[in-house]
């Protein structure tokens, strides 16, 4: 898999406003926020998109979801936030390293997109 901007953020080659980090994941503020709170949560393991994940990735996928809730709580938005995962270019994915968008801080309408 080709190195992405997110790989460079993980390795600290490119700066980011990090809100959470541990040995499995990294969360940082989106540089082009779509809501007052817009955090990207990424695994440190390179997975291009959710459709590329396999059974060996189920633990990290669940871990990312739990961390999203913890991060939302730490940011004071645990009662109203949305998680979005885009899969593929046609769905709006622009960086091919799996990432979860945590959006909050404004009314989020339905349907999205």
Q: Check if the beta carbon of residue 95 is closer than 8 Å to that of residue 4.
A: yes
Pair 47, 56: CB distance under 8 Å: no
User: Which one from 38, 97, 99, 101 is the annotated catalytic residue?
Assistant: 99
Q: Is residue 36 reached through a cis peptide bond, with omega within 30 degrees of 0 on the bond before it? A: no
Would you state the structure tokens that stand for residue 4, as one six-digit string?
A: 């992405």
**8 Å CB contact between 103 and 37:** yes
Establish whether 38 is a catalytic residue: no
**Average pLDDT of the segment spanning 80-84:** 97
CATH 3.30.428.10 describes domain 5-104: yes
- Sketch the domain layout of the chain as residue ranges: 5-104
pLDDT of residue 9: 97
Banded model confidence at residue 112, pLDDT cuts 50, 70, 90: confident
pLDDT of residue 79: 96
CA distance 75 to 8: 25
- Residues 2-59: tens digit of each pLDDT: 899 999 999 999 999 999 999 999 999 999 999 999 999 999 999 999 999 999 999 9
| pTM of the predicted structure, to 2 decimals | 0.95
DSSP state of 76: T
The sign of the CA dihedral 96, 60, 16, 29 is positive
* pLDDT confidence bin for 1, thresholds 50/70/90: low
């Amino acid at each position: 898999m080709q190195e992405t901007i997110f790989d460079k953020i993980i390795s600290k080659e490119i700066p980011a406003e990090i809100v959470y980090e541990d040995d499995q994941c990294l969360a940082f503020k989106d540089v082009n926020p779509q809501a007052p709170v817009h955090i990207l949560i990424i695994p440190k393991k390179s997975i291009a998109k959710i459709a590329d994940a396999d059974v060996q990735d189920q633990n990290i996928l669940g871990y990312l979801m739990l961390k999203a809730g913890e991060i939302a709580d730490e940011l004071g938005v645990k009662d109203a936030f949305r998680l979005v995962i885009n899969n593929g270019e046609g769905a709006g994915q622009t960086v091919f390293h799996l990432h979860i968008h945590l959006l909050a801080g404004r009314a989020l309408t339905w349907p999205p997109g």
